[in-house]
Amino acid sequence: MARYRPEPPYTHGTPARTAVLLVNLGTPTAPTAAALRPYLKQFLSDPRVVEIPRALWWPILNGIILNTRPKKSAEKYASVWLPEGSPLKVHTEKQAKLLAGYLGQSGAHGVRVDWAMRYGSPSIPEALERLRAANCTRILVVPMYPQYAASTTASVMDEVARCLLGWRNLPEIRYVRSFHDDPGYIGALAQSVRDHWVRSGEGDKLVMSFHGVPRRSLDLGDPYHCECHKTARLVGEALGLPAERVLVTFQSRFGKAEWLKPYTQPTLEAMAAGGTQRVDVMCPGFVADCLETLEEIAMECRTAFIGAGGQQFEYIPCLNENDAWIDALCRITRAHLGNWLELPEPDPQALERSRQRARELGAQR
């Protein structure tokens, strides 16, 4: 059997294409325990996500977690599920379609835009096969994680590399490593806060909740913690807020190990108990609303804040299909596409005039 598969049956004269592949974390196919089990197994089997020796982790994962967590997680997913599917899937698909339109309007004609999930469906292998069949020989992979983390961004890079091992005709690959301090992304976040304040007024504090990672990752050199804080600082500055009105917290802990602190829900409870009446909460580490924002923050944390004595909890939605965000995403992708973008053929007469001018300048020296 051949080690490398034959290429798709397109003719050798088919023009090569350039593509952008947006990749988000993942989602089950349905809010049921049956659908959650394979999704969670794939997610929690990734050594980038759980850095515990397999011999220790495997019995815990298969013997305990996959027998208890799917049902609980399914109930949470059911509380936010949309008629079209999971919120993350719905928003990511819409973002891809909008980006394709924005790229076309910006002059980046012929760039194909596709999307995938690191875990679940549509998978990275499925998306890459679609691009392969379309003769996309230049692929820009955009992990939709603003802040780089080994457990997210690097895992996408790992999976892309693994998929390409069996290809005969390898494409050029570029990655967007992170965009935590991109001016367009920061501007879109700040504008989303202003728009929310116009509708609902300002809270006493603005809490920026980022997805947590084990504290050990920071100690080992992962830049995620630093990039989260830089994002928060830049958004606060863009809004003209004093430092004491902005808090950075981390959510979604898993297991008993110490994770990045302060933790979101305990912080909100302490704020309410300490007299904070109204709080605004946003999640800048997510570019699309999902289980972690809609259920964990907008539902669970709201209940915890009000239960601890707070009066008003305002969740500021993720960027989703926000025009300013899609424009920023277009600019980010264009910058990374660079010389892959098809440029118009130069005007022959204008080119000849340039050459003549160069000859004249050379003669004057």
Report the DSSP beta bridge partners of residue 251: 211
Contact yes or no for 134/9 (Cβ under 8 A): no
Long-range contact pairs involving 158-164 (C-beta distance under 8 Å, separation at least 24): 158/48, 159/118, 159/124, 159/125, 160/124, 160/128, 163/124, 163/125, 163/128, 164/128
What does the block give as tokens for 205? 């504090």
- CA-CA distance, 97 to 114, in Å (whole number)? 8
| Residue 60, CA distances (Å) to 38, 57, 204 in order | 15, 5, 43
Contact yes or no for 239/232 (Cβ under 8 A): no
| Residue 328, CA distances (Å) to 87, 187, 257 in order | 21, 9, 36
- CA-CA distance, 265 to 228, in Å (whole number)? 18
What does the block give as tokens for 234? 């830049």
Eight-class DSSP state of 147: S
Q: Is 161 exposed, middle or buried (0-12, 13-18, 19+ CB in 10 A)?
A: exposed
- Residue 225 annotated as binding site: no
Contact yes or no for 178/144 (Cβ under 8 A): no
H runs (alpha helix) in the chain: 33-44, 54-60, 66-80, 87-105, 124-133, 153-164, 183-200, 215-219, 224-239, 264-273, 291, 302-307, 323-337, 348-364
Beta-sheet strand order (sheet of 172-175): 112-120, 17-27, 136-143, 172-175
- Residue 292 annotated as binding site: yes
Q: Which residues are annotated as a binding site for Fe(2+)?
A: 211, 292
Annotated binding site: 211, 292
